Amino acid sequence: MGRYGKAYTISNVILSMYVTVFCIMNRNELKQCWQGDCRNFGAAKLLDMGQRETIAGPTLEPSTSLPPAIEAEIDYQPLVENFEIWSPKFIITGVMKCGTGAAHTFLGEHPNAIPASGEAYFFNKDKFYTQGFTYYRKYFLRRYRDKLEPFIHYEKSPTYYRSLTAPPRMRHMNETLKIVNVVCDNVKRTLSRYLHIKTHTDDGHFVHNHLSLIGTTLESFQVNLRNTIKVFGAFLEDVKNNEGDGTMDGLIKALTYRFKYKMRPFGIRATPDKIELILSDGFYAVFHQYWQQFFPDDQLLVVDGGQFLKTPWEPMIEIQKHVGLSETINESSFVFRDGMDVPCFIDAQKNVNCLGGDKGRSLHKTLDLDVIRALHELYRPFDNYFSQKVLKRASWQWNYGLEDL
């Protein structure tokens, strides 16, 4: 055998080793492909193995297959006795700073709805989930004398919506579970999120290091935000062109892949600029399409949280209908008091209960006009894609900060 024959043999051995490693690393997707579903399997993975930062568009089709690391992380917990009696029949999954608190509070006034005693974060925090459903049950032990049978339990944890483990874990708990996701104008959400971080850093709930990474004052946050928007916009354009075939469909698929593999701009370790994490929290289409892999559309409701400040009965009627509650909460259930920027609820005894003082935190704060415009420009294609292509509805009328222009 000549030296070229030896070289050819050696190269074949090396290739065989790579193929073996590739098959081990991707055994779940290979099995799925053998069963006839090859959407998430492509030669590009072999070519890019070990150095993936971009990937050809055709291999990015979302599927119910998950990265092996996430599959291992899910660690399904067994259900417990009498689970059906106390377990939630619907869950408010997000979005943080979009009105989840208002939805939770108003639903708590319904005579047939029993809220959990707090935000459980059970399905997206391993330290809670690994304690099992006996631990989860403690959130549903409270008894209410004014509740009427048949009643249903529910809970709200506003970061479930962007969790990789929450959807499969919830489906494991109950395949018929109803999901409620409260979204809102991303410009207002960005401001509210910053103010939330600052407020809870000042009161000691968050470590100061978190705030220093994004800006210790609203002014310094905006300085950093201006730079981040430019860099982040260029990054997204690069992903769109190199991983997404230059289309919005392709970009969403590419970002869905990045979300599933904890890559920039979703993975904490993979995203040095922490403001990007705040911004990517608003890519609702990416997260919603991930949830669609585990629940059918008729179990997923999306409402506009901005309505809670002006016409709160509209999203409340949608939610009650979705989860199977009588439409007890309607326009006559709310009143707006002078000097208050948030609506108040009129209960069955005609008592008026208003949202807590920490709600509507961003109503008296604002961002500079150039920052507002830059954020709207960044989010507009994502918001339009989410409303029109994913939800099949008219575009959101979101124009925070531009209403009077």
Known binding residues for 3'-phosphoadenylyl sulfate? 192, 359-364
Residues contacting residue 84 through CB under 8 Å, at least 6 positions apart = none
Q: Which of 97, 156, 198, 240 is catalytic?
A: 97
Distance from C-alpha of 103 to C-alpha of 98, rounded to nearest angstrom: 10
Q: Which residue has the tokens 């978190």?
A: 210
Distance from C-alpha of 258 to C-alpha of 33, rounded to nearest angstrom: 21
DSSP string, 137-189: HGGG----TT--SS-EEEEE-TTGGG-SSHHHHHHHH-TT-EEEEEE--HHHH
Distance from C-alpha of 156 to C-alpha of 107, rounded to nearest angstrom: 11
| Alpha-carbon distances of 255 from 24, 285, 362, rounded to whole Å | 25, 10, 29
Active site residue 156: no
Q: Measured in Å, how far apart are the chain's first and last C-alpha atoms?
A: 80
Calculated CA dihedral for residues 312, 313, 315, 321, nearest 10 degrees: 160
Residues contacting residue 31 through CB under 8 Å, at least 6 positions apart = none
Q: Which residues are catalytic?
A: 97
